[in-house]
Homo-oligomer: A and B are copies of this chain.
Amino acid sequence: MTAQSAQKKNNQKKAKTAITPTREENFPEWYQNVIKAADMAENAPVRGCMIIKPYGYAVWENFQRELDRRIKDEGVKNAYFPLLIPLSYIAKEAEHIDGFAKECAVVTHHRLEAAPDGKGLVPAGELTEPMIIRPTSETIIGETIAKWVTSYRDLPLKLNQWANVMRWEMRPRLFLRTAEFLWQEGHNAFATAEESNADARRMLEVYAEFSRNVLAIPVIEGEKTPEERFPGAMATYTIEAILQDGKALQSGTSHDLGQTFSRSAGIRYQSQDGAEELAWTTSWGMSSRMVGGLIMTHGDDDGMQMPPKVAPHHVVIIPIVHDDGDRAKILDYAETLARRLKELNIRVEMDASDRKTPDKLWGAIKQGVPVRVEIGRREMEEGNVTHTRRDIGRDSKTTESTDAFCNKITAMLDGMQEEMYQAALTRTNAMLHDAKSLDEARQFFSEKSSIGQLRMDAAFLQEDAFEKLQKDFAVTPRCLPFADEGKKVIVGKAY
């Protein structure tokens, strides 16, 4: 093969990816285009906000269902607290202000009225005290449970809410960083420091298990350095994912708040021996930014790949009709298959639209439906299905009996879930490099071809050269992994 024909072949190969640019060519643009091609979300006309489209929201619903079950299994109860927080509450907790006050939406009026010049509407009814849209709810939940907790009998108190929150973002990015996002925030209160610390660690474990087994996203569990802690926390625990571009994504955090918020809100209880004590609290959250993490972990140059456990559809059935006389029979055959699969708790989508077959197939590929099934006249006549796995592609294309397919589909999806996790784990491990010195770290971050995070001696954190490293390369210490018992730190770029 001549260089020219090799180049030509290469071009042809490139032309075949459903997403342009590819990940290698331009990762951020690839990301935006996968979201668009999979029809998951779009920028809202409201600055920094997004619209989560049905296919993206269905992922979030599966995420919620799976995580909610795990949270409830920990004895936590869901509740709902107000969207608006009085300014005075925020002002109470000094450290907290520094962390959040700079980026919140402020409500100052409660009415609109006609403008004096008669043109349009203007805010009216000024509030005596401005309120902010919750960026997080430690303050208002703290004020509330201070009223609920009076005795050691009221503890532990474990609450969670699924809610929207708002942080004014200057550089928004779909899912990963938007002014408004969806999340759950847990807020637990305990009688002792030991219990609250154990709880903060326990909830991090719940997040880690959920990330691995549901999202198929490998994560590193560890503790944040003091500078990276949640404002007001004694310790912040985190799970960090390493995405395909080598950047880290803080995927879930759990904070041991000590007595910071119980002191400012006055969460006091009478202990078993009659003494008045301050409670110890934790908070922990995971958000819709993880949908971005899913895409950046599992997407490829043909679009999204959905881990079966969060996939809106496990299987898409594509009826292929060449002769109109066959239509009714083929659709009927496809519907029968859909019913059988639904009985097996398989989430099935029937694509009987009038789009052309290649568009349907590519649509399923771009949306990352784990298994696509083609049903044509031949399949119908022979009692067969033709199925293809998204992760393997055409090499997995198999025609076999409907019975055989129905018997294996559940195991097939379970297998895909596990293989997707293993593939992501292999990629993640390959992007975690050891650096023996800060010079080695500088060397790594200064090379354009370097992808990933560095693991180095935690003692380096104390050196001035580390601060310089952070500044020069816009990297941050992601966490001190539990696995290294606080002796190592992971450093790199992050979303």
Interface residue ranges, A against B (CB under 8 Å): 44-46, 49-54, 57-58, 60-61, 77-91, 97, 101-113, 120-123, 125, 130-133, 140, 143-144, 153, 159, 163-164, 166, 168, 180, 182, 354
A110 touches B104 (CB 8 A): yes
Give the residue of B81, B103, B107 whose beta carbon is less than 8 angstroms from that of A133.
Answer: B107
The copy count of this chain in the complex is 2
A85 touches B46 (CB 8 A): yes
Which residues of B sit under 8 angstroms from A164, Cβ to Cβ? Answer: 83, 163-164
Docked Cα-Cα span, A13 to B102, in Å, equals 60
A79 touches B52 (CB 8 A): yes
Which residues of B sit under 8 angstroms from A79, Cβ to Cβ? Answer: 51-54, 57
Give the residue of B46, B120, B144 whose beta carbon is less than 8 angstroms from that of A131.
Answer: B46
Q: List the 4 closest pairs (A to B, CB-CB), nearest first.
A: A54-B77, A52-B80, A106-B109, A49-B82
Nearest B-chain residue to A102, judged by Cβ: B111
B106 touches A123 (CB 8 A): yes
Which residues of B sit under 8 angstroms from A50, Cβ to Cβ? Answer: 82
A49 touches B84 (CB 8 A): yes
A121 touches B90 (CB 8 A): yes
Give the residue of B54, B78, B91, B354 whose beta carbon is less than 8 angstroms from that of A121.
Answer: B91
Which residues of B sit under 8 angstroms from A89, Cβ to Cβ? Answer: 45
Give the residue of B57, B77, B109, B354 whose beta carbon is less than 8 angstroms from that of A80.
Answer: B57
Docked Cα-Cα span, A91 to B119, in Å, equals 10
Which residues of B sit under 8 angstroms from A111, Cβ to Cβ? Answer: 101-104, 106, 168
Identify 22 residue pairs between A and B in the complex whose beta-carbon atoms are under 8 Å apart, listed by A's number: A44-B140, A45-B89, A46-B85, A46-B140, A49-B82, A53-B79, A58-B77, A58-B78, A60-B80, A82-B180, A90-B112, A91-B120, A91-B121, A97-B112, A101-B112, A102-B113, A104-B111, A106-B107, A106-B112, A107-B108, A108-B109, A125-B168
Docked Cα-Cα span, A180 to B85, in Å, equals 12
